[in-house]
Amino acid sequence: MQPDAIESISEAADAARGGDAPAFPIGRGRKLRCRGWRQEGLLRMLENTLANGERPQDLIIYAGTGKVARNWECFHAIVRALRNLADDETLVIQSGKPVAVFRTSERAPRVLAANTNLVGKWATWEHFRELEGRGLIMYGQYTAGTWAYIGSQGILQGTYETFAAAGARTGSGTLAGHIVLTAGLGGMGGAQPLAVKMAGGVCIAVEVDRARAERRLQSGYCDAIVDDPVEAIRLAKQATATREPLGIALIGNAAELFGRLRELGLEPTAVTDQTSAHDPLNGYVPIGVSAADAEALRARDPKRYVERSLASMARHVEAMLAYQADGAITFEYGNYLRGHALEAGVANANDIPGFVPLFVRPGFCRGRGPFRWVCLSGDPADLKATDEAVLRRLPADERLRTWMKMAHAHVPIQGLPARTCWLALGERDQVGLMFNRMVSKGELAGPIAMSRDHLDAGSVAQPSRETEGMQDGSDAVADWPLLNALLNTANGADLVTIHQGAGSGMGGSISAGMTVIADGTDSAAERIARALFADPAIGVVRHADAGYEIARQARAAAGLADPMRLD
């Protein structure tokens, strides 16, 4: 697809720069502001991430302080650099700050970024914050620093799959007629009430910040907001009696209310949590502190704030352990809550399992993970056409079909039309090539950007989540995500990133992100075929290497020879 025109000024940068009330527009249509669709596509992904963020005015996208760029000056410089970037140049970004443009080649990535990476011994929140305060680093989380955030939908499907898997463990095989207790209605956690409903159940989600709950109510991700735990239980029991799915936000502190709800007789079938417990200073809110007062308290006495957070997390986890002892399916949802509770003295915090070994790993062994695509034209008709094409391409995938049906009914378009669905090794490259052909034949109004979460088969080492309890004990081996990023670079993905510290906080993980743009060209087809194959394939290899039989079979089926076994 050829550029129609090149605009001299970035609308996004201008809008964000000027005026008291910053707007966060996203480029749409066929009009290019950059020198090619690969650069323009990445610029739109950047804008889309910002526009969908939790606090875009501060460049904060989700998970406490996950940012898209280091500061506004850096954001504008990135936009300028993307506008001017030639088809054989690569923009290099260090923790949200553009630092250089190199002449590389047309087949190389257009953007390479490294976010939040600190040398092992120095990877502490204390040191990170000192550097952050001096403007030397930023917290990139997963899809914030990879410019691949698509709002709550991104996590909705994964969350739906998790709760559906929890439902499969109930006597009836579904969550219908069951209550799920959780907390946190932020950028990611906000998907929980709707995901539980999609799995048939009733959700009580405790949230300390009323504004967050109201946002979820407005977007249709939850149905009711209550302040009284007694009322929350009454509503939940009423709904389970008639097997009606329902999403209830209960305003208050989870560390306090989890125990209180149990005292009041709540008997949830599943218990989890998605408060931003990974960050005891800028994420979690301790007991006795309102969302409004948290900011001032953090600034006034950060040390005391962290102490109070850790003590609250201990109480929070003790309540979860009590529910577990009652027989509830209890799991940590990847926010390092157990780790902090352990620090605060809850010796058996790890009796609560993580959600990956419990529900997700068998899929990882087949390279199945959170693939997503974004329609860069902004035209909802492109989403409809691509959704239908994917369903035609994978007719036997029942889970995909169910998800798509529910997504059409429940997922509003946020920013650029986007879809996430978990695809396995061999499916992602085929779907990517199909999209590229659709663009080339003019069946779509614009190119498609394909990306994924970092929570994927081969793109992360995080011993408290994705790589928890690996069969061979290799949980903390971080060579795999680095190899993933190197492979994606070698294969010419359009953007490749390496991150540290997401999810479980500083020192807790190393991960990699990638985006590739289907602009309908032969060059895109070649790069898509290679990158979207190798990206999940290194995940299959990682799991096969750890001894998982499903992964060994998937590796053999994909024709990926093992150099250790070659004659």
Is 513 a binder of ligand NAD (CB under 6 A)?
no
- CA-based angle 364:366:370, to the nearest 5? 50
Which of residues 55 and 384 has its CB atom nearest to ligand NAD in the complex?
Answer: 55
The position carrying tokens 């140049």 is 89
Is 156 a binder of ligand NAD (CB under 6 A)?
no
Gap between the terminal Cα atoms of the chain: 46
Q: How far is CA 511 from CA 89, 129, 146, 236, in A?
A: 24, 20, 11, 38
Residue type (1 letter), 61: I
Please pick, from the candidates 26, 48, 49, 54, the single residue that binds ligand NAD as defined by CB under 6 A: 54
Which of residues 179 and 208 has its CB atom nearest to ligand NAD in the complex?
Answer: 208
446-465 residues near ligand NAD, rule: CB under 6 A: 455
Structure tokens at 264: 């009041």
Is 387 a binder of ligand NAD (CB under 6 A)?
no
Angstrom distance (rounded) from CA 202 to CA 533: 38
The position carrying tokens 């000024």 is 9
CA dihedral 307, 312, 315, 316 (to 10 degrees): -130
Query: In the complex, what is the shortest distance from the CB of residue 170 to ligand NAD, in angstroms, rounded to a whole number?
Result: 21
Query: CB under 8 Å to 469, separation ≥6 — which residues?
Result: 353, 354, 357, 475
Query: In the complex, what is the shortest distance from the CB of residue 501 to ligand NAD, in angstroms, rounded to a whole number?
Result: 10
Classify residue 60 as exposed, middle or buried by CB count within 10 Å of its CB (0-12, 13-18, 19+).
Answer: buried
Is 306 a binder of ligand NAD (CB under 6 A)?
no
Is 183 a binder of ligand NAD (CB under 6 A)?
yes
Which of residues 53 and 378 has its CB atom nearest to ligand NAD in the complex?
Answer: 53
Please pick, from the candidates 50, 68, 204, 255, the single residue that binds ligand NAD as defined by CB under 6 A: 255
Q: E strand or H helix at 514, and its extent? A: strand 510-518
Which of residues 163 and 480 has its CB atom nearest to ligand NAD in the complex?
Answer: 163
Which of residues 64 and 201 has its CB atom nearest to ligand NAD in the complex?
Answer: 64
# residues near ligand NAD by CB under 6 A: 34
62-91 residues near ligand NAD, rule: CB under 6 A: 62-64
Query: In the complex, what is the shortest distance from the CB of residue 517 to ligand NAD, in angstroms, rounded to a whole number?
Result: 25
Angstrom distance (rounded) from CA 381 to CA 403: 19
Query: In the complex, what is the shortest distance from the CB of residue 336 to ligand NAD, in angstroms, rounded to a whole number?
Result: 7
Q: 165 has which bridge partners?
A: none
Query: In the complex, what is the shortest distance from the CB of residue 294 to ligand NAD, in angstroms, rounded to a whole number?
Result: 8
9-28 residues near ligand NAD, rule: CB under 6 A: none
Q: What is the DSSP string of 338-385?
A: HHHHHHTT-TTGGGSPBHIIIIIHHHHTTT-EEEEEEETT--HHHHHH
Please pick, from the candidates 94, 335, 436, 484, the single residue that binds ligand NAD as defined by CB under 6 A: 335
Q: E strand or H helix at 552, and its extent? A: helix 549-557
Phi, psi torsion values for 112, nearest 5 degrees? -120, 135
Q: Could you say which of 34, 222, 375, 421 is catalytic?
A: 421
Angle separating helix axes 428-440 and 522-545, nearest 10 degrees:
170
Candidates 90-98, 187-195, 215-223, 339-347 — which segment interacts with ligand NAD by CB under 6 A?
Answer: 187-195
Structure tokens at 33: 């502001």
Which residue has the closest beta carbon to ligand NAD? 186
Which of residues 184 and 458 has its CB atom nearest to ligand NAD in the complex?
Answer: 184
Structure tokens at 190: 């906000």
Please pick, from the candidates 446, 447, 501, 503, the single residue that binds ligand NAD as defined by CB under 6 A: 503
The number of residues making up the chain comes to 567
Please pick, from the candidates 27, 53, 280, 334, the single residue that binds ligand NAD as defined by CB under 6 A: 334
Is 272 a binder of ligand NAD (CB under 6 A)?
no
Classify residue 24 as exposed, middle or buried by CB count within 10 Å of its CB (0-12, 13-18, 19+).
Answer: middle
Which of residues 27 and 252 has its CB atom nearest to ligand NAD in the complex?
Answer: 252
Query: In the complex, what is the shortest distance from the CB of residue 62 to ligand NAD, in angstroms, rounded to a whole number?
Result: 4
Is 284 a binder of ligand NAD (CB under 6 A)?
yes
Please pick, from the candidates 274, 324, 440, 464, the single residue that binds ligand NAD as defined by CB under 6 A: 274
DSSP designation for 173: S
188-247 residues near ligand NAD, rule: CB under 6 A: 188-189, 206-209, 212
Is 275 a binder of ligand NAD (CB under 6 A)?
yes
Query: 421 catalytic, yes or no?
Result: yes
C-beta separation of 378 from 29 below 8 A: yes
Q: List the catalytic residues.
A: 421
Residues that bind ligand NAD (CB under 6 A): 54, 62-64, 155, 183-189, 206-209, 212, 253-255, 274-278, 283-285, 291, 333-335, 455, 503
